Homo-oligomer: A and B are copies of this chain.
Amino acid sequence: MTEPRALILVDIQQGFDDPYWGARNNPGAETNAAKLLNEWRARSWPVFFIQHLSTNPDSPLHPDQGKTAIHPLVAPLPGEPVLTKSVNSAFIGTTLEQDLRAAGITALTICGLTTPHCVSTTARMAANMGFQVDLVHDACAAVTANVDPSWRNSAARPDPKFIHQAALDQLNGEFARVIATHEALG
């Protein structure tokens, strides 16, 4: 029998439906994440919801903005673990590593928002801590607010599709196996 993998849903929250973040790619990311979630529940495999609580008062993910709830398409059921954090990595300031180790989990399937920030940072740390990582590209998305090219005197923010691709190109093979939802379900 296949070893259970934990599904890590990173920051799939209402606050990402806000113009603050600019243009976005993969509008179907939440729907694909819901497909993964339903399959994981059907398999009785572990699922962890990661919820970002920003410390930046201007962020739509700051608790005072009232939009930190997990997105309705992937709403947690009673008893499913929701771990809160205030930095990018889901492993810093949370019990995620110890919860995974306690459950004997060695392989993760990661998806969520946003590809180059919290998803990338979480996948990098997971791999460096020794977990085998599948990253589901079409259940992730990038936004234009994710990049700041001002350090090279450019104001031209790339299209979110290219931000997403660049982030995943850097991770694929080195930190994770980058796959599609249909492959993760297979």
Contacts and interface: CB of A to CB of B under 8 A. Distances in A.
A89 interface: yes
Contact of A165 (B116, B121, B149, B172): B149
Q: How many copies does the complex hold?
A: 2
A170 B120 contact: yes
Given A87-B128, A124-B124, A128-B92, A170 B151 contact: no
A173 B117 CA distance: 11
Contact of A151 (B150, B163, B178): B178
Interface string A148-186: 111110000010000101111110111100110000000
Contacts of A117: 170, 174
A173 to B, nearest CB: 4
Contacts of A168: 151-152
A31 B7 CA distance: 44
A170 B116 contact: yes
B170 A128 contact: no
Nearest to A168: B151
B124 A88 contact: yes
Given A137-B151, A150-B172, A170-B167, A121 B116 contact: no
A124 B158 CA distance: 21
A75 interface: no
A168 B166 CA distance: 11
Give the 10 A-B CB pairs with smallest separation, nearest first: A166-B166, A151-B178, A148-B173, A87-B128, A147-B169, A116-B170, A148-B172, A92-B128, A121-B124, A89-B128
